[in-house]
Amino acid sequence: MEKETLHCKVTVRIMTDRKAFGPGVAEILTGIRKYHSLRGAARQMGMSYTKAWTIIREAEKIWGFSLTQRHAGGKEGGSSVLTEPARIVLERYEAMSRELHELAEQKFQQYFNEEELRKLRK
């Protein structure tokens, strides 16, 4: 049996019956913030441009505002930046995820610390 340490992971999704925001959208937007390009963001994730584009468009339909703004021109056919509301949503999503991650760590240490695991295993 392997002996890697148990830990917990929390995923936050904002949705209607369809997904408006989750780790995937967050990663694409973070990539755009970094590379100023949807193509660059998709490439970094090993995702096709078309798939990244579709995910962003679907999310925009649910939020009711644009997440990215395109500027024409340049070597790779223009650049993209986050819109102001996208920047705010991303920051709040990151803050929520961080706060939930902290509570999860705390609860995990309470319920599943080494001592508790030893009791469960015996």
The C-alpha atoms of residue 107 and residue 2 are separated, in whole angstroms, by: 24
Mapping DSSP onto H, E and C, the string for 18-72 reads CEEECHHHHHHHHHHHHHCCHHHHHHHHCCCHHHHHHHHHHHHHHHCCCCEEEEC
Contact status: 34 vs a copy of itself (CB under 8 A): no
Contact status: 85 vs a copy of itself (CB under 8 A): yes
Among 46, 50, 64, 73, binds a copy of itself (CB under 8 A): 64
Per-residue string for binding with a copy of itself, 87-106, x by CB under 8 A?
Answer: -xx--x--xx--xx--xx--
Q: Which is nearer to a copy of itself, 48 or 95 (CB)?
A: 95
Q: Which of 42, 14, 15 is nearest to 28 (CA)?
A: 42
Which residues contribute to the site for a copy of itself (CB under 8 A)?
1-2, 4-17, 20, 61-65, 85, 88-89, 92, 95-96, 99-100, 103-104, 107-108, 111-112, 117, 120-121
